């Protein structure tokens, strides 16, 4: 799903792996809105549970929408409190990534 690239690519790869380890599958990579959202991943654990959507932020300062490979962060749709920034690698990245991928689990539980 992920192509070669720069810093965002490493973060996308980490995110994809973390989701897989928690039992999520990326069932679709959808186009963005051509403005604020570069792309969307539809993730699903089971066809008996609803999908969740991860929207990748990609609005650059000039007002153009960046491709997924250059996205600078993402959030879980419908959960404004759950976001992840793809800044430079830092010591907090692992903890932030773990918290982000745990969010759909918290929402999915009754």
Domain ranges of the chain: 7-108
CA–CA distance, 26 with 32 (Å, rounded to integer): 16
- What percentage of the chain carries pLDDT values higher than 90? 46
Residue 74's nearest CA partner among 24, 21, 22, 16 is: 16
pLDDT tens readout for residues 80-104: 888 999 875 667 788 889 889 988 7
- What percentage of the chain carries pLDDT values higher than 70? 86
Q: Token pair for residue 53?
A: 């959507």
Q: Token pair for residue 11?
A: 């973060």
More confident residue, 6 or 43: 43
Residue 36's nearest CA partner among 13, 4, 64 is: 64
pLDDT > 80? residue 106: no
| Residue 18 Rama label (left phi>0; alpha psi -120 to 50; beta) | alpha
């Amino acid at each position: 799903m992920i192509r070669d690239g720069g810093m965002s690519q490493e973060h996308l790869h980490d995110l994809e792996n973390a989701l897989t380890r928690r039992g999520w599958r990326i069932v679709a990579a959808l186009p963005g809105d051509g403005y604020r959202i570069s792309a969307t991943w539809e993730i699903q654990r089971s066809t008996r549970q609803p999908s969740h959507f991860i929207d990748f932020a990609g609005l650059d300062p000039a007002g153009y929408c960046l491709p997924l490979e250059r996205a600078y962060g993402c959030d879980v749709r419908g959960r404004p409190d759950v976001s992840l920034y793809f800044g430079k690698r830092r010591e907090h990245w692992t903890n932030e990534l773990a918290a982000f991928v745990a969010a759909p689990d918290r929402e999915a539980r009754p």
